[in-house]
Amino acid sequence: MNAADHDRFAEDVAPYLLGALEDGERGSFEHHLETCHVCQDDLLRLKVAADALPRSVPQYSPPAGLKRALMEQVYSEAAPDKRRGTSLADRLGLKRVLVRPRLALAAVCVLLAGLVVGYALSPSDDRVEPAQTIAANVDKGRIGDGQGTLVVPAGGGVAHLKVSAMPQPSDGHVYQIWLRRGNRIEPSSLFSVDRNGNGSGAVPEDLKGVTEVMVTRERAGGARQPTEAPVLSAKV
């Protein structure tokens, strides 16, 4: 894979995840994805966020017509009348995005998600219960000075495994989170780390009955069963 080839497809990651690419574009992107580890990592990170978002807040039904009203506003302002002044696209920094159909749907989906999450949070009161923080055990022989902390929100919700000083996985590999529930080990989300070894993986599943959260190094795309002993684990 060369840089020019990657640049051609880099902006297709989010539309692909949202199903906004046309058939021909989707096929070309999937062919590129087979050999591009950068796009693979970007797709994994975005997928974790997309999967976690609906479960990250209490669910309430948004007001009737919210989606329709937003869509009408976005499309009406995509080509604004000069007499109306600054458009919604300008105010939200989306002007260059909305002129590209493949990215327009992704932008609208992000806006919808933000509004729905904001609405879901609005009925709650101001009381904030402290989260439970659990230090993870690490295999120093394999990840050196790596550290990890599992943060579990009080009252449920999406937990997060935060790591630091972790070595970057080898090419074509990512970190994968696993949940031990009784005698079963269940796959969860994937994550990577930056050049400083810092990263965070969401655990969107319900932790009821889970006794341990573990991390292994797996091939990009994840595995159905761990292929190695955990490099990091946190007792719940």
What is the domain-level CATH number for residue 166? 2.60.40
Same domain for 140 and 226, yes or no, is yes
Q: CA torsion 202→203→205→206, rounded to 10°?
A: -120
Q: Give the pLDDT confidence score for residue 63 in this predicted structure.
A: 62
User: So what's the pLDDT on residue 64?
Assistant: 61
* Same domain membership, residue 216 and residue 142: yes
Q: Which residues are CB-contacts of 6 (< 8 A; sequence separation ≥ 6)? A: 32, 36, 38, 39
What is the distance between the alpha carbons of residues 129 and 117, in angstroms, rounded to a whole number?
19
Tell me the pTM: 0.52
154 in a structural domain: yes
Give the number of domains in the chain.
2
Q: Domain check: are 178 and 112 in the same one?
A: no
- Residue type for position 63: P
Q: Are residues 162 and 228 in the same domain?
A: yes
Contact present, 226 and 213 (Cβ < 8 Å)? no
Segment holding 170, helix H or strand E: none
Is residue 17 included in any domain, yes or no? no
Reported as a single tens digit per residue, the pLDDT across 127-186 is 556 789 999 999 999 999 999 999 998 877 889 999 999 999 998 899 999 999 999 999
| pLDDT bucket at 33, cuts 50 / 70 / 90 | confident
Strands 147-152 and 184-191: unpaired
pLDDT at 49: 60
Count of CB atoms within 10 A of residue 44's CB? 21
- Give the domain range for residue 224: 132-235
Statement to judge: residues 208 and 137 lie in one domain? yes
Among residues 86, 121, 156, the one where a domain terminates is 121
Residue 153 in any domain: the answer is yes
Q: Is residue 136 part of a domain?
A: yes
At 27, give phi and psi (nearest 5°). Answer: -65, -40
Q: For residue 124, what pLDDT is reported?
A: 46
Examine the domain organization and report whether 75 and 151 are in the same domain.
no
